[in-house]
Structure 1
């Protein structure tokens, strides 16, 4: 490893622990902020904007709301069942996927229609990863009826997306966490590529605790540039989205 790579790695670790500490310092016991997928981006956004309460089941994998609804409907019974897990490859990387939670509509990006994916964990071969997901699951579901939830859902843009259908499914999920007098809110966002002078944030709709945002950006959140891949180039718009939503949510509690 070169000196430059070592410095970058050290800086990344320092930034990570700094974000973790700020999340704890700024923790608001009135709300639990969690990632709802569809990939790791939502979790990373919550952490670097110091909103993240803890890692959810959906924080570090690829999924879609169809898989999540199936999990909720059977209380995640088969999430860690090794009989329904297998190893797949993406390029040179190996990932573990579920062949049980793999049924969905065709309205998602192709990478999110291969079954629920443990992108950064291996519950097939590493018991500690199984234990980590059990802790995430217990923590998340045990707070139903005890906490108000705010979920962040990033829908990865694709040509065959159906945003109206997606919102209806988010409303179904919302009911699982709106119980015991507590409320559940969902911030639902996606990007659209535009020219530089059209870059901006648009609140498309805000109804029944679901906030739909379109973020008009110059760059697709993908590729080798990490600032683009993790949408850090659009953090001003993302921060505005989170603050706008939170200010409205606070007025409803």
Structure 2
């Protein structure tokens, strides 16, 4: 009884919070270009927010996931994400989270917690009704924009000894193909951190692809993680992220001018 009341109270608070957020950012829904996070965790979404790029909360904004889970959901239209028979309670470091029992198959190339099933890190769609409604809205928005809006997705991969960047690039390009057509364009900002020595200068390396996959290596000194909140949210590298977004803007402007030139009558 106590837990039920607690969940209902949480649902009411979330309803008010979600409504307020929607009103505050309502102009973002009609923007010409949408900027959305597709994981692998909340860091990407927070970077977009801090740099005033985030359009709205996406299915993967506040979760632990990987590009394979993203593709599985995109390819079956998120059919199996919210049915309660596919959601399970899990205890992680004495903290309860909800995970998908359906979207859980992937290659062994990600950080451990990103391979244990799609994780609702900050929501409980199994027990909190507003969380279910919120994800239904996110899914509906996602299906509505596919192939109809210009989209820039942002995807951060945490490098580890099993990382397979070529495999991840292949999957990201598959996602681009799902969203691209003759009328709209999709790009993916694919970024990851490469730690360097204290004596070295932080820097950004950019590897663009004609497909729209825009790859960035952030060479920096402080690991994005741990207990320190500045390090956890990668705030010490905000200058690199600002440069990254400026580079994406320049790339998109160049290709827009190039495409317009191609269709201008001679």
Both structures adopt the same fold (TM-score exceeding 0.5): yes
Match of 2:49 in 1: 47
Say if 1:145 and 1:180, in contact at 8 Å, map to a contact too.
Answer: no
Shift of 1:31: 0.4
| Larger radius of gyration between Structure 1 and Structure 2 | 2
Q: Could you say if the C-alpha distance between residues 77 and 27 of structure 1 is closer, same or farther in structure 2, counting changes exceeding 3 Å?
A: closer
Shift of 1:99: 1.2
Match of 1:34 in 2: 36
Match of 1:138 in 2: 140
How many residue pairs get aligned? The number is 235
Match status 1:233 vs 2:236: yes
Say if 2:32 and 2:149, in contact at 8 Å, map to a contact too.
Answer: yes
Task: Work out the CA distance in 2 between the residues paired with 1:107 and 1:56.
Answer: 24
Say if 1:37 and 1:152, in contact at 8 Å, map to a contact too.
Answer: yes
- CA displacement 1:148-185 (0-9 Å, x = unmatched): 00000001111100001100000001111113611100
Match of 2:253 in 1: 250
Partner of 2:206: helix, strand, or coil? strand
Q: Could you say if the C-alpha distance between residues 180 and 51 of structure 1 is closer, same or farther in structure 2, counting changes exceeding 3 Å?
A: same
Say if 2:104 and 2:118, in contact at 8 Å, map to a contact too.
Answer: yes
Shift of 1:27: 8.4
Shift of 1:28: 8.0
- CA displacement 1:68-117 (0-9 Å, x = unmatched): 11111111000001111101122121110011000000111111000000
Shift of 1:206: 3.1
Say if 1:203 and 1:213, in contact at 8 Å, map to a contact too.
Answer: yes
Please point out which of 190, 207, 211 is paired with 1:208. Answer: 211
Partner of 1:222: helix, strand, or coil? coil
Task: Work out the CA distance in 2 between the residues paired with 1:104 and 1:145.
Answer: 26
Say if 2:147 and 2:178, in contact at 8 Å, map to a contact too.
Answer: no
Consecutive unaligned residues of structure 1, counting only runs of 5 or more, are: 1-16
- CA displacement 1:225-244 (0-9 Å, x = unmatched): 11110001100001101110
Match status 1:109 vs 2:114: no
Please point out which of 120, 123, 129 is paired with 1:121. Answer: 123
Task: Work out the CA distance in 1 between the residues paired with 2:26 and 2:140.
Answer: 20
TM-score (normalised: structure 1): 0.88
Match of 1:219 in 2: 222
Consecutive unaligned residues of structure 2, counting only runs of 5 or more, are: 1-19, 257-266
Task: Work out the CA distance in 2 between the residues paired with 1:141 and 1:81.
Answer: 18
Shift of 1:120: 0.2
Say if 2:28 and 2:34, in contact at 8 Å, map to a contact too.
Answer: no
TM-score (normalised: structure 2): 0.83
Q: Could you say if the C-alpha distance between residues 250 and 28 of structure 1 is closer, same or farther in structure 2, counting changes exceeding 3 Å?
A: farther
Say if 1:188 and 1:211, in contact at 8 Å, map to a contact too.
Answer: yes
Task: Work out the CA distance in 2 between the residues paired with 1:24 and 1:134.
Answer: 18
Partner of 1:243: helix, strand, or coil? helix
Q: Could you say if the C-alpha distance between residues 224 and 48 of structure 1 is closer, same or farther in structure 2, counting changes exceeding 3 Å?
A: same
